[in-house]
């Protein structure tokens, strides 16, 4: 019972080279979403194809290596129940601590602001990264009830992510 819908990605946006690197940032094509979710899963994010709450993916971005198009980072910005969420963000382990995550997050937040969004929610396994970017931890009860992991029996037992919010 897949409840994920994709907003059509913009046509022919040019890739943006990242200064001083062999990497490029681009909007992922609609047909690349499966590749991105596989990347998220490979980087230890839980990817649920049987979502309880409908998710409308607004935009996905990827960072790839020039030449071989090797995927090194990706982010998915979505909406649930009228609220923006970071539905997934991952960076290949060998590229962490090189500002790739910040670059991806900045792209997503810029789109939220451009579309008049007021806040962005996420569930973080790496809350320190998000705190540095302006997110704050909120009580689980204060978050809209649209994160499946909050109802997972492992939440707070073997898995201890933080629910976070940023006012934009």
How confident is the model over 84-107, as pLDDT tens digits? 999 999 999 999 999 999 999 999
Whole-number Å distance between alpha carbons of 154 and 83: 25
pLDDT reported for residue 157:
76
Task: Check pLDDT > 60 for residue 127.
Answer: yes
Whole-number Å distance between alpha carbons of 117 and 19: 29
What pLDDT, in 10s, does the model give residues 3-23? 455 555 555 578 899 998 999
pLDDT reported for residue 2:
41
pLDDT reported for residue 160:
77
Q: Residue 138 — very low, low, confident or very high, per pLDDT cuts 50/70/90?
A: very high
What pLDDT, in 10s, does the model give residues 15-69? 899 998 999 999 998 889 889 999 999 998 877 655 555 678 899 999 999 988 8
Question: What is the 3 state secondary structure string of the chain?
Answer: CCCEEECCCCCCCCCEECCCCCEEEEECCHHHHHHHHHHHHHCCCCCCCCCCCCEEEEEEEEEEECCCCCEEEEEEEEEECCEEEEEEEEECHHHCCCCHHHHHHHHHHHHHHHCCCCEEEEEECCHHHHHHCCCEECCHHHCCCCCHHHHCCCECCCECCEEEEEEC
pLDDT reported for residue 142:
83
pLDDT reported for residue 122:
93
pLDDT reported for residue 50:
58
From residue 29, give the alpha-carbon distance in Å to each of 32, 35, 58, 64, 133: 5, 10, 12, 13, 26
């Amino acid at each position: 019972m897949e409840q994920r819908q994709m907003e059509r990605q913009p046509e022919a946006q040019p890739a943006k080279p990242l200064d001083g690197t062999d990497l490029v940032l681009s909007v992922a094509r609609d047909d690349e979403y499966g590749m991105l979710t596989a990347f998220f899963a490979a980087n230890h994010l839980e990817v649920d194809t049987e979502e309880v709450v409908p998710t409308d993916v607004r935009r996905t971005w990827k960072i790839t290596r020039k030449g071989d198009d090797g995927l090194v980072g990706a982010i998915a910005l979505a909406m649930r129940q009228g609220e923006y969420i970071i539905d997934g963000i991952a960076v290949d382990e060998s590229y962490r601590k090189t500002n790739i995550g910040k670059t991806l997050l900045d792209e997503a937040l810029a789109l939220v602001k451009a579309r008049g969004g007021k806040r962005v929610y996420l569930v973080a396994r790496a809350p320190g990264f998000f705190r540095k970017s302006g997110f704050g931890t909120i009580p689980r009860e204060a978050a809209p009830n649209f994160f499946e992991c909050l109802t997972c029996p492992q939440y707070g037992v073997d898995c201890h992510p933080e629910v976070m919010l940023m006012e934009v």
